[in-house]
Amino acid sequence: EKGTYPHYMLKEIDEQPAVIRKIVQAYQNESGDLTIDGNIISAMGAADRIYIIAAGTSYHAGLVGKQFIEKMAKIPVEVHVASEFVYNMPLLSENPLFIFISQSGETADSRAVLVEVKELGYKALTITNVPGSTLSREADYTLLLHAGPEIAVASTKAYTAQLAVLSILANVTATSLGLSSTIDLGHELGIVANSMDGLIDAKEEMEAIAREYLSTTRNAFFIGRSLDFYVGLEGSLKLKEISYIQAEGFAGGELKHGTIALIEDGTPIIALATQEAVNLSIRGNVKEVVARGANPCIISMKGLETEEDRFVLPVVHELLAPLVSVIPLQLISYYAALHRDCDVDKPRNLAKSVTVE
């Protein structure tokens, strides 16, 4: 039920802090430590390479998940779009583990890959919001998102839930491998949830940004480097699917290799700056586009901000920044769609779960 909310999407955006807290609870043991089923952790530890397979928003979560797993658990990860992987499999490693990320657990493109890798005799883990879904039943292991039903076609709380569960998987694996690259994740996810509360309270500001940058534009670009690039891809998907504004996400460093030709007077550029190591370089990219007339909206993280920034996010652990930086992008897309009288919850041409290949 959407209760007093005008749209499921807005309700689901608002639910995100509660979902993060629920996930922490669901994965905690009696002594308060985050844990994962030992069979899954053994499979992670035995893998010489992990292949993440997904589509759409879940693919974008996989791109961030790769960074969690590689940085914390030190296992190499490849992330693949399911519909491409199925007919063009890369050469696989000796001991691969497959991770399927799917909110619905019913995506046919992902299922086609699962059927194939099971035939080859490999182990598979499904990360899904729907217990008993096809991808959950057909995989060896399942991790649940605990996000509650997601009704709006545009995925919001499932994405942040996917990131939270992937971070727990990566951190618990790292602990089991005795690595020093673990973080106090229960504590850090608590900070994330509190920060999300603040962002959700900043709706008026997000509506103002949508009005200022997106009310009449025909296109918009998202730029970022490192984790911010992946969040930009998700932000651009949200914007295009519900507002029908042509939106694209780009790696900051790729701009000069072609994309910059698209910048015109007033073109909105939403730039994310949450990662210290690339803060200066992404700001350099903003200067490049401003020099060509772009209208920049910089969203940075506290501690990295400058005077020109339009919105400053509260500080969270740098690796977990995508869980908070995506929220303004979800809200900006929501308001942009609303201002254009679009059907926010049921955008044209789209279905909630895509059960055809």
Site residues (vs ligand F6R, CB under 6 A): 55-58, 102-104, 107, 110, 154-155, 237, 241, 353-354
Nearer to ligand F6R among residue 69 and residue 161 (C-beta): 161
In terms of CB distance, is 123 or 238 closer to ligand F6R? 238
**Shortest distance (Å) from residue 158 CB to ligand F6R:** 7
Q: How far is the CB of 154 from ligand F6R (least distance, A)?
A: 4
- Closer residue to ligand F6R in complex, CB, 62/296: 62
Half-sphere exposure at residue 342, Cβ-oriented, CA atoms within 13 angstroms: 26
DSSP string, 93-146: -SSEEEEEEESSS--HHHHHHHHHHHHTT-EEEEEESSTT-HHHHHSSEEEE--
Q: Give 100 or 141: the residue with its C-beta nearer to ligand F6R.
A: 100
Strand partners, 148: none
Q: Which of 90, 145, 93, 85 is nearest to 114 (CA)?
A: 85
Locate 174 and state its tokens: 């790292």
Nearer to ligand F6R by C-beta: 151 or 202? 151
- Of the candidates 266, 227, 277, 276, the one whose C-alpha atom is nearest the C-alpha of residue 249 is 227
Active site residue 240: no
Q: How far is the CB of 270 from ligand F6R (least distance, A)?
A: 17
- When CB distances to ligand F6R are compared, the closest residue is 56
Q: Tell me how far, at minimum, the Cβ of 248 lies from ligand F6R, in Å.
A: 15
Q: How far apart are CA 124 and CA 140, in angstroms?
A: 5
CA distance 81 to 104: 16
Taking the complex as a whole, how short is the minimal distance between the CB of residue 225 and ligand F6R, in angstroms? Answer: 23
Distance of CA 356 to the CA centre of its chain: 23
Element (H, E) at 53: strand 49-54
Residues carrying an active site annotation: 352
